Amino acid sequence: MNKILLTILFVLIYFCDASDVCYQKGGNCLDDNKRYLFYEVNRPEGFNLRRDVYLRFAMLARKMKESNDEKLNNIQLVLPPWSNLVHWKYTDKPEHIPWGYYFDVDSLKKFAPVVEMYEFFANYPNKYSKVEIEEVYTLQHFEDMFETGNFQDKMQLDNCNKDYHYSYFSYKNVTSKNTRCLSYHGPATKLSEIFSNSSAKTILIDHAEVALHDYFGSPLYWQARRSMRFNKDLKSIADEFRRKFLHSSDDKDGTRLPDDWTDETAKRSAVGGPYVGIHLRRKDFVRNRAEEVPTLMSVSEQVKTVLLQLNLNTVFVATDGTNEEYKTLVNLLDGFEVLRYTPDSNTKEKYGDGGVAIIDQIICSYARYFIGTYESTFTFRIQEEREIIGFKTETTFNVFCGRKDCPKPSVWEIVY
Ligand SMILES: Nc1nc2c(ncn2[C@@H]2O[C@H](COP(=O)(O)OP(=O)(O)O)[C@@H](O)[C@H]2O)c(=O)[nH]1
Ligand SMILES: [Mg+2]
């Protein structure tokens, strides 16, 4: 025991010494060859839009890595922790949730050079010191773009349209003395120009959602999307629920994917478990999109129609609605089996609201038929997952009719 303590002490002293030396040199103590790209998203944005912003930056990071420019091909994309998401409660959870809780980071790394924030901190000499990001660019839209009708890709350092706040990833010790606003129109890949023209080792792009996709819907886009495999533990929790309550398993349902996403190939043969999966977005959607959001009565009618058509008896409900709304729906669907996923205390404690949301998404992704909520990014991510699993599009691109009419969802088919 004493021996272990002594070893720990020795290691601590050794590392403290090393970092002191590093500071005395007065330099940035990061590995000399690496540069880091950080990004932050508009604070109120939810989990599923953030996932899409990640894809844009993963493509930027990949493009830079493949570049011949040696200023670009050693750039690491730092995964912003899931901090302070407005929809999530953080009571039992760390405030800065790493990506590994939700995604399989090894899979992400097969597409783009990414590192977790804690891996970046570990490279810093003393993790309790301040991290000063050398250059911060806050993206903003060109104010006059619609007036001038000029939609060409462009960027330009500008006055800030708004007052922006400078606390990054809700870490008190991550700051910058060098923040500028950049009016921006174009794809995220255009941001490589910033790295070419700068020699900073750490650059943060704030309001990253302003930068767009350039390869949206292309094979490269879908590679990035396929690399976003979920944390394996969350997938197996969802699988257990499917097995126990929905008579559903990958081998039976024709939904098994290769262990490695790079081995996936095109197919449309997935059958899915014997249930209809629905995503019923409520909360702010009920207030802000009253015409597009159906009444629960209408939901139950639409679900019944599909169940009867498919000769199924079971519906799995993913929703952010209240218990009361759920109970109402269960009553309206009297005679059918209605289920939802409720986490046990371990799962809830370990993975929080984000984990539960992902488990809901997985279960909907493996249903024989899916109905989502119009223009919810939560629904979009389920639709993409089903494209990857290999369902026929007509089982996937369905959304509930609203109070007024039945909107047609955009169909984004997978390409390889
Ligand atoms: N568990 C669970 N959470 C949901 C569901 N629908 C919405 N949420 C929560 O509400 C948030 C919705 O925000 P977001 O991901 O931005 O999707 P969007 O607002 O529907 O486009 C999610 O991140 C979840 O935390 C659901 O069906 N199940
Ligand atoms: Mg949202």
Is 328 within the bounds of a domain? yes
Nearest CA to ligand 1 atom 16: 46
Q: CA angle, 274 as apex, 269 and 280 as ends, to 5°?
A: 100
Residue 248 and residue 277 in one domain? yes
Residue 57 and residue 206 in one domain? yes
Is 196 within the bounds of a domain? yes
Q: How many domains, in total, are found in the chain?
A: 2
Mean pLDDT of 66-78: 95
Nearest CA to ligand 1 atom 7: 320
pLDDT in tens, 188-197: 999 999 999 9
Q: CA angle, 407 as apex, 406 and 408 as ends, to 5°?
A: 120
The predicted pLDDT at position 89 comes to 87
Residue 325 and residue 261 in one domain? yes
Average of per-residue pLDDT values in the chain: 90
pLDDT in tens, 224-265: 999 999 999 999 999 999 999 999 999 999 999 999 999 999
Residue 286 and residue 333 in one domain? yes
Mean pLDDT of 374-383: 97
Residue 381 and residue 263 in one domain? yes
Provide the pLDDT confidence category of residue 33 given band limits of 50, 70 and 90: confident
Provide the pLDDT confidence category of residue 3 given band limits of 50, 70 and 90: low
State yes or no: pLDDT of 13 exceeds 80: no
Q: Name the residues annotated as catalytic.
A: 45
Residue 37 and residue 153 in one domain? yes
- C-beta of residue 131 within 8 angstroms of C-beta of residue 175: yes
The phi and psi torsions of 318 (rounded to 5 degrees) equal: -105, 125
The predicted pLDDT at position 10 comes to 44
- C-beta of residue 371 within 8 angstroms of C-beta of residue 398: yes
**Which ligand 1 atom sits closest to the C-alpha of 45?**
16
pLDDT in tens, 311-360: 999 999 999 999 999 999 999 999 999 999 999 999 999 999 999 999 99
Residue 208 and residue 289 in one domain? no
**Whether residue 304 has its Cβ less than 6 Å from ligand 1:** no
Mean pLDDT of 287-311: 96
Is 181 within the bounds of a domain? yes
Strand intervals (E) in 232-326: 273-280, 314-319
**Which ligand 1 atom sits closest to the C-alpha of 319?**
27
Is 410 within the bounds of a domain? no
Residue 63 and residue 135 in one domain? yes
* CATH code of residue 361: 3.40.50.11350
**Whether residue 319 has its Cβ less than 6 Å from ligand 1:** yes
Domain boundary among 218, 247, 280: 218
Is 381 within the bounds of a domain? yes
**Whether residue 212 has its Cβ less than 6 Å from ligand 1:** no
Residue 389 and residue 307 in one domain? yes
Is 385 within the bounds of a domain? yes
Range of 90's domain? Answer: 28-218
The predicted pLDDT at position 20 comes to 41
Residue 249 and residue 386 in one domain? yes
Mean pLDDT of 175-192: 94
SS3 assignment, position 404: coil
End-to-end CA distance of the chain: 55
State yes or no: pLDDT of 26 exceeds 50: no
Q: Residue-wise over 293-315: b if at least 16 C-beta within 10 A, else e?
A: bbebeebbebbbebbeeeebebb
Residue 188 and residue 274 in one domain? no
**Whether residue 47 has its Cβ less than 6 Å from ligand 1:** yes
**Whether residue 377 has its Cβ less than 6 Å from ligand 1:** yes
| Mutate which of 86, 320, 340, 348 for ligand 1 pocket (most atoms within 8 A of beta carbon) | 320
- C-beta of residue 370 within 8 angstroms of C-beta of residue 350: no
* CATH code of residue 206: 3.40.50.11340
The predicted pLDDT at position 95 comes to 82
- C-beta of residue 104 within 8 angstroms of C-beta of residue 261: no
Please report how the helices 47-66 and 377-389 are oriented relative to each other, as an axis angle in degrees rounded to 10: 60
In terms of pLDDT, which residue wins out, 369 or 178?
A: 369
Domain boundary among 172, 195, 218: 218
Is 406 within the bounds of a domain? no
What is the CA(310)–ligand 2 centre distance, in A? 31
Residue 245 and residue 265 in one domain? yes
Mean pLDDT of 368-397: 98
**Which ligand 1 atom sits closest to the C-alpha of 87?**
25
- C-beta of residue 262 within 8 angstroms of C-beta of residue 110: yes
Longest dimension (CA), the chain: 74
Provide the pLDDT confidence category of residue 91 given band limits of 50, 70 and 90: confident
Cα distances from 121 to residues 35, 159, 169, 172, in angstroms, run 13, 32, 13, 14
Distance CA 323, CA 158 (A): 48
The predicted pLDDT at position 143 comes to 83
Nearest CA to ligand 1 atom 19: 376
- Return the H-helix or E-strand segment holding 3: helix 2-24
Is 86 within the bounds of a domain? yes
Provide the pLDDT confidence category of residue 2 given band limits of 50, 70 and 90: low
Distance CA 187, CA 44 (A): 22
Domain boundary among 189, 218, 247: 218
What is the CA(197)–ligand 1 centre distance, in A? 39
**Whether residue 320 has its Cβ less than 6 Å from ligand 1:** yes
- Residues near ion ligand 2 (CB < 5 Å) are 46
- Return the H-helix or E-strand segment holding 179: strand 179-185
The predicted pLDDT at position 149 comes to 73
The HSE-up count of residue 36 (CA atoms within 13 Å, CB side) is 27
Token reading at 70 = 């040696």
